[in-house]
Amino acid sequence: MKLLDMETFVAVARAGSFAGASAILGITSSAASRRIARLEDSLQVKLLYRTTRALSLTEAGNEFLIHAQSALLSAENAVDAVKSHQSSPEGHLRVHAPMSYGKLHVSPLIPEFLDQFPNLKISLFLDDKIPDLLDANLDVAITGRHISSGSYIVRKVGALTSVLCAAPHYLEHHGAVQHPQDLSAHNCLFYHHSENTPYWVFNHDGISFEVEVSGNFLSDSSEAVHDAALKGMGIARIPRFLANPDLKAGRLIELLPDFVMPEKLLFTVYPEREHKPAKLNAFLEFFIPRLATP
């Protein structure tokens, strides 16, 4: 039995499909299928039920999955224990970050990081929705969502601020906004992954309150919301790092600057392990100080 085949089986079980597992492992679906067939042949037992529409574990497959995950974790700990002594980190580092933040703040740092650690290879996955790190075979994620789980280590990186803004031509046609309550008469643009849609929270003179807003556009991409605001579709709550260039150029106008919107904390999240890999240590020590004040 090959450890590689066991790893493939665990990936298929977690992803629920050969296509999903192959994307995580960086192989073709046919290669993943061959590995599972080889594993079943060596065990002389069927691990998966396959149909054209679905994939599920057999009773033996469910039992094998428990032990396979434990075996793979032990193997990873053994490798990590040895590699933690490396003077120069090496290997493949898989990193997840929010789309806009990753493009503007994480991606530009990668050339310097790889120059400093030439034996590392990095894959950067950008998506505003954070996947399960274990299921997606990720080493570390940068996220604005606090994950409270004993299976992960969470470290604060910094805080992101938001700005309420609109295009000048939108305000010319729809009127100024003097108080958060005025937003009820305006078309507001929503970011899908926000925790408190359709309520926007403000703080003024130490008093926190929320305002119910409505609008005709919602997206799971903060960049799409930003573009909609630039086109004059409505009023948006946008991360300041994304809005700043347009605010300075006058393409967007900041609204209600005396009414502060809550900060969003930023974290790094990575699976808890007995030995932290040297490549992960290198990433954390390099990126966290540089991302602390974006």
The pLDDT value recorded for residue 181 is 95
pLDDT score of 196 more than 70: no
pLDDT score of 150 more than 80: no
User: Each residue of 203-226: pLDDT tens digit?
Assistant: 998 899 999 999 999 998 899 999
DSSP 260: B
Is the peptide bond between 277 and the residue preceding it cis, with omega within 30 degrees of 0? no
pLDDT class for 54, splitting at 50, 70, 90?
confident
> What's the Cα-to-Cα distance from 42 to each of 2, 34, 36, 115, rounded to whole Å?
9, 12, 10, 43
Average pLDDT over residues 263-273: 87
Average pLDDT over residues 54-64: 86
pLDDT score of 195 more than 70: no
Please name each of the domains of the chain with its CATH number: 3-83 (1.10.10.10), 91-160+265-291 (3.40.190.10), 162-262 (3.40.190.290)
Q: Specify the 3-state DSSP secondary structure of 272.
A: coil
Angle ∠(149,263,283) on CA atoms, nearest 5: 55
* Predicted TM-score of the model (pTM): 0.69
Q: Alpha-carbon distance 134 to 91, whole Å?
A: 18
Neighbouring-strand partners of residue 245 = none
The pLDDT value recorded for residue 249 is 97
The most confident of the ranges 37-41, 80-84, 202-206, 235-239 is 235-239
